[in-house]
Amino acid sequence: MNALILAAGYATRLYPLTKDFPKPLLEVGGRTILDHLLAQLDAIDAIKRVWLITNHRFMPHFTRWRQGRTGGKPVDLIDDGTLTNDDRLGAVGDLLVALQSVGTDDDLLVTAADNLLEFPLADLVNAFRRRPLSHVCVHGVDDPARLRRTGVVVLGAEDRVLEFREKPSEPRSNLAVPPIYLLARSTLPRVGEYLGGGGLPEAPGHFIEWLCRQEAVHAHRIHGTILDIGTPESLGAARARFRGELPRE
């Protein structure tokens, strides 16, 4: 199994802080957001190789970060060639570019680089081992406004995904899907099929929404907090949380 970290976005909502600096390398709790994620990936023996895709503009930052990294699994960097938010490829477009380097011979854990995860990713890997089909993570969200800003699923027997909607105006459940997926190797060629058929290259949820109509996708229910670092306010709240100024759930 490999892992792919999606880190090619331009984080415009955090400007000017991220105008010339990548969001995953911002500090929270004494280490970068990215290093928090890698601490989890490093602890999963099943993951043999870690890849990170970024844009050409931020590639030097990640190269310097990697040079200063000690211990843990090696991280291979991929440059998607873009320079501005206007010519970005989108998360699914970056996934397709990354697969040219990563290949499709192994299962792939795909995650965004800008979330702080307070639950064990190893549990997702274990769920996949028990049922080796593509999985998404789901967690309960009771705020309808938050549900309208994310992917939402309806589940059936054995937590099979019956329906997935990206940013639905009328959510049909309270089960939100963060950008964390474990894709079976047999699924990976479908990324090119999806984009070749005119699929939207932006939020990866659009690909998952399509994928659920092509093959069985199951959900792994997570129990813990996900801190989405998307705005100055959420960054400040995460830092306060790690300083002990806000309670942990």
What ranges do the domains of the chain cover? 2-242
Q: Which tokens belong to 218?
A: 């199951």
Q: What is the pLDDT of residues 56-94, one digit of tens each?
A: 999 999 999 999 998 899 999 999 999 999 999 999 999
230 φ, ψ to 5°? -120, -20
pLDDT at 249: 54
Residue 246 has pLDDT above 80, yes or no: no
Tokens representing residue 232 in the block? 């100055």
Q: Residue 194 pLDDT more than 70?
A: yes
Contacts of residue 154, Cβ cutoff 8 Å, sequence gap at least 6: 161, 162, 163, 172, 173, 175
- Length, in residues, of the chain: 249
- How far is the C-alpha of 85 from the C-alpha of 167, rounded, in Å? 21
pLDDT surpasses 60 at 51:
yes
Task: Work out the mean pLDDT of the chain and round it to a whole number.
Answer: 94
Q: In this predicted structure, what is the pLDDT of residue 243?
A: 86
d(CA 8, CA 154): 30
What CATH number was assigned to the domain covering residues 2-242? 3.90.550.10
Provide the pLDDT for residue 248: 56
The span from the CA of 136 to the CA of 201, in Å, is 18
Phi and psi based region of residue 234 (left: phi greater than 0; alpha: psi -120 to 50; beta: remaining)? alpha
- Count CB neighbours of 51 within 10 A: 20
Residue 225, pLDDT score: 87
Residue 140 pLDDT:
92
Mean pLDDT of 45-61: 97
- Residue 245 is predicted with a pLDDT of 74
